[in-house]
A and B are shown apart, each in its own frame.
Chain A
């Protein structure tokens, strides 16, 4: 059975992979002896290689940002809303690169990969990776692809942190940094949520100290619980009320007077948790949350974000969403303020949306308009 893809989709895509033989030094002081990065590209690189955009994924994302892997795929890539012909990240104009972060579980070297030094699965021994480590690995991928300077590096949430790190670490290798729904570092509350998520995984008896794969089990309950918790922080209270309210699960509307599911919201969270377990790896989840916790580019600059951004050359677009309490508009404004301090080029838009942190993945017209208008500028420079 085959089907036709929507006209504004990049359609069928095939992931590519590149093996890096050269060790990757990591912030932790350790190194990856060799590694593989899986990535996808959409659109065509122009002759002077000036129209390339790097899309960075967030906590549970991967390289599959747009299009379909098979004609039978039910769901397209995670940012299908924004990437495609005629969409804000217009693949008729841009060459888009999206890679799976090191430590991930979608094809790039991660905890489920084999450590070439001992022939065993990394499992819990996979080194802790940071946002700066990812950016370093992405820079090498850019070298391989012959891209000396990105037209833009774009991301939402943890993806935006990579875009920010890019601007700091490789100031001359990107013309624009587009940061959506992010923060310059996590708050105590953010770290607290991550810690509860980690504890859920670590305390699952099936976690087996991280060697669960070798035992042929998965810490399902722990990983599902971590995801359920995450989902609460992605939605706003208003969004939850609108989506579920106190809607009962069953049609009878009778309370069960047990610990079964009574309300739609419980059913939703359980479903999200359980389906996540099928596609995501617990060790990767632990790594990703640590990368979030450790992200703090100002730390090296005496905790002065303005100083950290003093040497950036990229122009910035910063976007936040009014009801996002995970990374609230105030957190984005911290970045904007630091950029203003250094007289950097920055545009800031605060999108009115009830959808919480999730908004960055949703087709909100005002948001897509801003992205489209800004990227139109980027494209005109690249032409």
Chain B
């Protein structure tokens, strides 16, 4: 098979083999398909887009067509080892509630999102006075699905206020590569932020 996108490769390393995984906004099911085939993982993808639902079926991934904004009440407490949400946090109506929900139904949460604190985003707004458009944020302001953009600092602040312990953080550039310098200045140099976290009270 073709090489897994680097951010998904990192997630698959974070996930213990044999786990149960729920992938929120699973897209075409690439991650779950990889995890099923290489990490002996079971689980479901949730997806709202019909084309993606179809792609998941073709990828042999169990997918439930769901609107994440309608909540995750169909899922019991602690029914998954990991609840994953890649590039979706910024597109839901209530990210803070969803992050809480992730830790209700899963032992650990994993999220990735485009970091709005990246220097290129900052300079577009500062120098051009325009809403930023980049590889990680390709949409125009009027038709973007990304309605809840945040920065690395914002997310970590949210975790703090919600009593969530961050277990791992990784930032990548827009080609999804890790860069040494970005580790030092994640909010400025990371285009994509990745976190693994759990309830602080555990």
Contacts and interface: CB of A to CB of B under 8 A. Distances in A.
Interface in A345-383: 345-352, 366, 369-370, 373-374, 376-377
Contacts of A374: 57
Contacts of B20: 343
B54 A340 contact: no
Nearest to B80: A343
A216 B42 CA distance: 61
B62 interface: yes
A149 to B, nearest CB: 20
A346 B79 CA distance: 15
Interface string A319-349: 0000000000000010011001101011111
Contact of B63 (A340, A348, A352): A348
A278 B57 CA distance: 42
A274 B160 CA distance: 69
Contacts of B44: 340, 346
A377 B50 contact: no
Contacts of A376: 58
Nearest to A348: B64
Contact of A347 (B42, B56, B74, B79): B56
B75 interface: yes
A340 B76 CA distance: 9
A150 B54 CA distance: 24
Interface residues of A, number: 21
Contacts of A333: 74
A360 to B, nearest CB: 16
B63 to A, nearest CB: 5
Interface in B12-59: 20, 42, 44, 50, 53-54, 56-58
A369 B54 contact: yes
B50 A347 contact: no
Given A352-B50, A373-B57, A374-B57, A347 B62 contact: yes
- Interface residues of A: mostly helix, strand, loop or mixed? helix
B178 interface: no
Given A340-B74, A341-B76, A346 B62 contact: yes
Nearest to B43: A343
B199 interface: no
Given A349-B65, A350-B65, A377 B60 contact: yes
Nearest to A376: B58
Given A336-B74, A337-B74, A340-B75, A345 B62 contact: yes
A343 B20 CA distance: 10
A22 to B, nearest CB: 39
Contacts of A337: 74
A242 B23 CA distance: 39
A78 B50 CA distance: 26
A182 to B, nearest CB: 16
A336 B64 contact: yes
Contacts of B54: 349, 366, 369-370, 373
Contacts of B50: 349, 351-352, 366
B192 to A, nearest CB: 29
Nearest to B57: A373
B64 A370 contact: no
Interface string B53-95: 1101110101111100000001110010000000000000000
Contacts of A369: 54
A339 to B, nearest CB: 10
A50 B103 CA distance: 42
Nearest to A333: B74
Nearest to B75: A340
Contact of A370 (B53, B66, B76, B79): B53
Interface centre among B56, B74, B79 (most CB of A within 10 A): B74
Given A336-B64, A352-B50, A366-B50, A347 B75 contact: no
A333 B75 CA distance: 12
A346 B64 contact: yes
* Residue picked from A336, A352, A373, most chain B C-beta under 10 Å: A373
5 contacts: A340-B64, A340-B79, A347-B63, A350-B65, A376-B58
Given A340-B75, A366-B54, 9 more contacts: A340-B79, A347-B63, A348-B66, A349-B53, A349-B57, A350-B65, A373-B54, A373-B57, A377-B57
Interface of B: 20, 42, 44, 50, 53-54, 56-58, 60, 62-66, 74-76, 79
